[in-house]
């Protein structure tokens, strides 16, 4: 017990120490200086913010005096105002390390506030239109972003007017910005948030949530545009040439070493593990494990384990284990080692379109309405089939206009066509049953049964 308590004490101490190291520059102070020597001013900031300095005293001018009135400023802002552009401050534990050097030209930083109120704005998206590097402001409104000499920076947040900043060689790399509010219809914001929640709920696997973060949701709200790129390469979602805005980019060609995230696939995409697509797939999408597409697919999805097209599929899905899609009235194909599913969420049968598709699975095929064929090693289920069900053991449907062939049982409420199996069952319809035991309505016949029951 004693060892456990010691361990918890050490763990808590280390955790608190780490938290303090992260928070030093974000701590807020209200402080006033009037012609105070710079060294004294620095010591007073350290005393009030509860940290220690580490610097060479020779880098500070003995004649430097500080006059400043700061009300609820962060330590970062106070030091910036006191020291100017020729110093860099870094945190290390409870220490702040001060060096005399200009901040790198490759970084743009600053604080973003609301115009008129000076409220610090958190979750503002700042991105480079050319490179698509992006970041968001923290709880103090602070941001830091890598830039190039000719970067075009967009600062955007829902409910505020976008600000465009052109970066040149002489542009100061510290930019405090004020954003003006704009009128947003009351219904728009909940609608956007609801759309995000619904799109996230369409994913049929927790894998999508593993890569989705609250930061992605803010980018979705703040940046409504979709960007166009000819080519992108990534290692993981957010770690690639499209950076953290990858989910907002439509790519012609994508190569994802492990996994990638995009808005659209226009021609070709391949991944070692998986692909995440937010809007639609056109062309060919292949992955070693899975493809998760929240939109439409007009092309081919091929995966070692799993394919999902949350909206309509007009094309082909090939998977080692499972395919899921909303098939369109145009022709589609699902082929899987185990399971194929055609989903349809409409409650009224009159609202359900009849997709034209062929499902071929090692175990199970499931659909609502289907014009085409279901071929499986074990079971086919559907509400209405215009075509054929061929199952290794079972075929189950509410209505069949065509053929049911199984190794054991065929069952439907209504048949117009032929049933071939060991046991055939239908309540109404017209056609023929061939099997060891055939039932239509209340009649049971061996070998062959002609069905001439009027439909109800």
- pLDDT greater than 60 at residue 84: yes
Q: Please write the tens of the pLDDT for every residue from 10-48.
A: 434 434 443 444 478 888 899 999 999 999 999 999 999
Check: CATH 3.30.390.10 for 16-99? no
pLDDT at 411: 95
pLDDT at 269: 95
- pLDDT greater than 80 at residue 71: yes
22-25 contact pairs (CB < 8 A, 24+): 22/91, 24/49, 24/51, 24/75, 24/91, 24/94, 24/96, 25/74, 25/75, 25/76, 25/89, 25/91, 25/96
- pLDDT greater than 50 at residue 238: yes
Read off the pLDDT band of 454 (50, 70, 90).
low
Structure tokens at 193: 């948030």
Q: Are 363 and 377 in contact (CB under 8 A)?
A: yes
Read off the pLDDT band of 80 (50, 70, 90).
confident
What is the pTM (predicted TM-score) of this model? Answer: 0.66
Structure tokens at 315: 């094309």
pLDDT at 10: 41
- pLDDT greater than 80 at residue 226: no
Task: Name the strand (E) or helix (H) holding 217.
Answer: helix 214-222
- How is the chain split into domains, by residue range? 16-99, 107-179, 186-214+226-276
Structure tokens at 327: 């098939």
Q: Helix, strand, or coil here: 413? A: strand
Rounded to the nearest angstrom, the gap between the alpha carbon of residue 353 and the centroid of all alpha carbons in its chain is: 28
Q: Please write the tens of the pLDDT for every residue from 320-362.
A: 999 998 877 778 999 999 999 987 654 444 455 678 889 999 9
pLDDT at 212: 53
Question: What would the mean pLDDT of 265-293 be, rounded to a whole number?
Answer: 93
- pLDDT greater than 70 at residue 390: yes
Structure tokens at 454: 């009027």
> CA-CA distance, 41 to 331, in Å (whole number)?
75
- pLDDT greater than 70 at residue 429: yes
pLDDT at 148: 85
- Fold (topology level) of 107-179: Immunoglobulin-like (2.60.40)
| Percent of the residues in the chain that have a pLDDT greater than 90, as a whole number | 39
| Percent of the residues in the chain that have a pLDDT greater than 70, as a whole number | 83
Q: Helix, strand, or coil here: 64? A: coil
Rounded to the nearest angstrom, the gap between the alpha carbon of residue 280 and the centroid of all alpha carbons in its chain is: 13
Read off the pLDDT band of 1 (50, 70, 90).
very low
Rounded to the nearest angstrom, the gap between the alpha carbon of residue 139 and the centroid of all alpha carbons in its chain is: 23
Read off the pLDDT band of 393 (50, 70, 90).
very high
pLDDT at 343: 78
């Amino acid at each position: 017990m004693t060892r456990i308590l010691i361990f918890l004490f050490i763990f808590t101490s280390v955790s608190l120490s780490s938290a303090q190291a992260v928070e030093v520059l974000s701590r807020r102070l209200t402080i006033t200086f009037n012609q105070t020597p710079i060294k004294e001013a620095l010591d007073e900031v350290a005393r009030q913010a509860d940290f220690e300095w580490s610097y060479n005293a020779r880098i500070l001018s003995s004649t430097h005096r500080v006059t400043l009135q700061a009300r609820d400023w962060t330590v970062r802002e106070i030091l910036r105002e006191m020291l100017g552009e020729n110093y860099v401050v870094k945190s290390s534990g409870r220490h702040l390390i001060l060096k005399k050097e200009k901040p790198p030209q490759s970084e743009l930083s600053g604080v973003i506030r609301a115009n008129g109120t000076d409220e610090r704005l958190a979750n503002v998206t700042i991105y480079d239109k050319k490179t698509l590097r992006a970041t968001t402001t923290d709880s103090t409104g602070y941001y830091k972003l890598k830039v190039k000499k000719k970067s075009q920076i967009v600062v955007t947040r829902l409910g505020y007017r976008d600000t465009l900043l052109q970066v040149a060689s002489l542009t100061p790399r510290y930019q405090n910005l004020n954003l003006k509010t704009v009128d947003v219809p009351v219904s728009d914001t909940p609608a956007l948030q609801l759309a995000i929640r619904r799109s996230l709920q369409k994913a049929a696997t927790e894998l999508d949530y593993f890569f989705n973060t609250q930061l992605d949701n803010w980018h979705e709200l703040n940046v409504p545009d979709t960007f166009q790129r000819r080519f992108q390469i990534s290692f993981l979602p957010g770690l690639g040439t499209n950076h953290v805005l990858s989910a907002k980019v439509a790519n012609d060609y994508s190569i994802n070493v492990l996994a990638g995230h995009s808005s659209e696939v226009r021609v070709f995409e391949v991944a070692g593990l998986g692909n995440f697509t937010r809007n639609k797939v056109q062309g060919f999408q292949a992955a070693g494990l899975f493809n998760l597409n929240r939109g439409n697919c007009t092309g081919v999805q091929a995966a070692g384990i799993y394919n999902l097209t949350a909206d309509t599929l007009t094309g082909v899905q090939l998977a080692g284990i499972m395919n899921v899609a909303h098939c369109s009235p145009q022709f589609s194909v699902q082929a899987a080692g185990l399971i194929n599913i055609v989903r349809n969420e409409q409650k009224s049968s009159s609202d359900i379109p009849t997709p034209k598709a062929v499902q071929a699975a090692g175990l199970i095929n499931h659909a609502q309405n289907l014009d085409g064929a279901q071929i499986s090693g074990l079971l086919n289920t559907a509400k209405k089939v215009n075509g054929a069900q061929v199952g290794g053991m079972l075929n189950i449907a509410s209505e069949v206009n065509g053929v049911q062939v199984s190794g054991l049982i065929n069952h439907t409420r209504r048949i117009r066509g032929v049933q071939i199996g060991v046991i055939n069952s239908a309540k109404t319809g017209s056609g023929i049953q061939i099997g060891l035991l055939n039932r239509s309505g209340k009649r049971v016949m061996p070998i062959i049964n002609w069905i001439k029951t009027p439909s109800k």
